[in-house]
Structure 1
Amino acid sequence: MLTVNQLNFNYPNSRLVLNSIDLDFTAGNIYGLFGKNGEGKSTLLKIMTGLLFPKTGNCTLNGHSTKKRSVESLQHVFLVPEDFELPAISIGNFEKVQSCFYPNFSKQQFYELIKEFQLSVTDVISKLSFGQKKKVLIAFGIAANTKLLLMDEPTNGLDIPSKSQFRRVMASAVDENKCIVISTHQVRDLHSLINHIVILDNGQAVFDQSLNIISNSLWFGKPPSYEESNILYQESSFGGKAILPRMDMTETEVDLELLFNGILSEPSKIKSTLKGTDHGSGV
């Protein structure tokens, strides 16, 4: 669906923000795009939508270059940005003005989500809190039913109950014809939601792997003493929790935050354990 090939990007008079990025995003998946602040996550999403142009390399959506911003591409992609401005109109009028640009938009779905988010179609957007405004955009993005849905730090501005609500709503939005990419540095917020992980570090895609492969290959938890020699990565701040090769150990839940820190600290150890299990571009 979306292919990023040998992509390089830098802002004027700055170092490369993205360096030789090769990634494939396919339908039916929710990708977690992780990285520290300033690692190019937002930049990559903007390139995917055609808001920024790569210096070299390509980004194509269903064979169409995103930088051309053709109608054929734009009607199939929606971005929920981290920072945004919305007009001082009601939620209902916002839907009427914007929905016509998306041929698969579902009004029924949109208004059901607005109700789920405890908002009203008569609410004036400019009078809403930042978190409520973000809920309007999230509801619209899901209801647009674009082939590609991009979200940049969608849980910023949401309180704890709203984050749980967000995960529930996103889980219901999964479609075999839709690809969802969620960028965040708050790894815990995507727990139990994503099924594929991409990690950016120092301008490069250092990890690109499905959650299924990770779960089958790695073990997460406090290791028994007889397994300490096999530890790939460990943190005392996690109560001694570590990452080990799973081998014949019982399957555990993937600890996203521990995995993220492990990839940044011990990438070769973890990726060599995964090597041979799958052929993800980041391994």
Structure 2
Amino acid sequence: MIAIQDLNFSYNKGRPLFKQMDLQLEQGHIYGLLGKNGAGKSTLLKNIAGLVYPNKGSIAVLGHDPRKREPSLLKEITFIPEEFYLPAVLSDKFIRANAPFYPNFDIQYFKELLGEFEIPLNQRIADMSYGQKKKYLISFGLASNTKLMIMDEPTNGLDIPSKVQFRKIMASALTEERCILISTHQVRDLDNLIDSVIILDEHRVAVNASVATLTERLCFKKVKELPADVVYAEAALGGYNSIQVNTFAEDSKLDLELLFNAVSQKQGVITNLLTQPTYV
């Protein structure tokens, strides 16, 4: 689906965001893209969509070079940016102007999604709140039925009930032919939604692993006292939230926030645990 090799990128020859970055993404997955502020999450999404260009290296999306902005590729990409502009028109006019760019656009599905998000079908887009506009864009993107869906901070501006709806709708939207890439700093919003995690750190991809691999290799658990071989821990009420080597194949639930903090402070340790073939 997406193959990135030796990606180098900086704005106006300033501080480099990416150095020799490699990344492979496959169809049939929902990826959560995490990173500190300034790590380049939005920039990576823009590189994939062909909105900015690498200084060096290559990006292939569905076999195309996104820099060429070929219609045959663009019809298979929907990009929901963090900051956006929607015209002051009725929904019907917006659909007539934009849906034809997406051959697989499903108007009935779009109406169903608006109903799920409780957005009036004939409301002027300019009269919507920020959260309603965000949900409108998400609905349009899903109804476009593209093979690649890129979302940058999609839950910003959504209230708690809307976030619950978002997770429910996104979970049902994944197909074997579709790849969904979601960037966020609100890691709790991705709980029980994503099946793979990408973490950017130090100009490269520090982690690119499935949730299954993460919970197979690492055990996330709350303990009263820290064992000697703990990988990472944070103080919590009544003890510690910890990450340990999953020596005894215990079942545990991935704690995205804890994993992110662990990578930020102990990237080498986490990377080695995820890449080594066996444990000693």
Q: Same fold by TM (over 0.5)?
A: yes
Q: Residue 233 of structure 1 contacts residue 262 of structure 1 at CA under 8 Å; is this kept in 2?
A: yes
Q: How big is the shift at 1:202?
A: 2.5
Q: One-letter code of the match for 1:149?
A: M
Structure 2: stretches of 5+ with no match in the other structure: none
Shift of the 277–182 alpha-carbon distance from structure 1 to 2, 3 Å rule, reads farther
Task: Return 266-275 or 196-205, whichever deviates more.
Answer: 266-275
Aligned to 2:25: 25
| Counterpart secondary structure, 2:53 | coil
Q: How big is the shift at 1:224?
A: 5.9
Aligned to 2:245: 245
Q: Residue 35 of structure 1 contacts residue 41 of structure 1 at CA under 8 Å; is this kept in 2?
A: yes
Q: One-letter code of the match for 1:232?
A: V
Aligned to 1:57: 57
Q: Residue 86 of structure 2 contacts residue 125 of structure 2 at CA under 8 Å; is this kept in 1?
A: yes
Q: How big is the shift at 1:104?
A: 1.2
Aligned to 2:220: 220
Q: One-letter code of the match for 1:230?
A: D
Aligned to 1:205: 205
**Per-residue deviation, residues 225-247 of structure 1 (Å, max 9, x unmatched):** 4x601200001157511000112
Aligned to 1:281: none
Aligned: 1:233 with 2:232: yes
CA–CA separation in structure 1 for the residues paired with 2:96 and 2:277: 49
| Counterpart secondary structure, 2:228 | helix
Root-mean-square deviation (Å): 1.4
CA–CA separation in structure 2 for the residues paired with 1:33 and 1:253: 18
Q: How does 1:1-283 map to 2 (within 5 A)?
A: 1-223=1-223, 225=225, 228-237=227-236, 239-277=239-277
Q: Residue 213 of structure 1 contacts residue 277 of structure 1 at CA under 8 Å; is this kept in 2?
A: no
Structure 1: stretches of 5+ with no match in the other structure: 279-283
Scaled by the length of structure 2, the TM-score of the pair is 0.95
Number of residue pairs matched?
A: 277
Q: How big is the shift at 1:132?
A: 0.5
CA–CA separation in structure 2 for the residues paired with 1:16 and 1:276: 29
| Counterpart secondary structure, 1:161 | helix
CA–CA separation in structure 2 for the residues paired with 1:190 and 1:277: 28
**Per-residue deviation, residues 38-80 of structure 1 (Å, max 9, x unmatched):** 1111011111111111111111112110000001111110100
| Counterpart secondary structure, 1:99 | helix
Scaled by the length of structure 1, the TM-score of the pair is 0.94
Q: Residue 102 of structure 1 contacts residue 146 of structure 1 at CA under 8 Å; is this kept in 2?
A: yes
**Structure 1 stretches of at least 4 aligned residues deviating more than 6 Å after TM superposition:** none
CA–CA separation in structure 2 for the residues paired with 1:67 and 1:218: 38
Q: One-letter code of the match for 2:146?
A: T
CA–CA separation in structure 2 for the residues paired with 1:52 and 1:241: 40
Shift of the 206–133 alpha-carbon distance from structure 1 to 2, 3 Å rule, reads same
Q: How big is the shift at 1:163?
A: 0.7
Q: One-letter code of the match for 1:259?
A: L
CA–CA separation in structure 1 for the residues paired with 2:213 and 2:66: 30
**Per-residue deviation, residues 181-221 of structure 1 (Å, max 9, x unmatched):** 00011111100100111111132111111111011111111
| Counterpart secondary structure, 1:59 | strand
Sequence identity, in percent?
A: 44
**Per-residue deviation, residues 140-167 of structure 1 (Å, max 9, x unmatched):** 1111111100000000001111111110
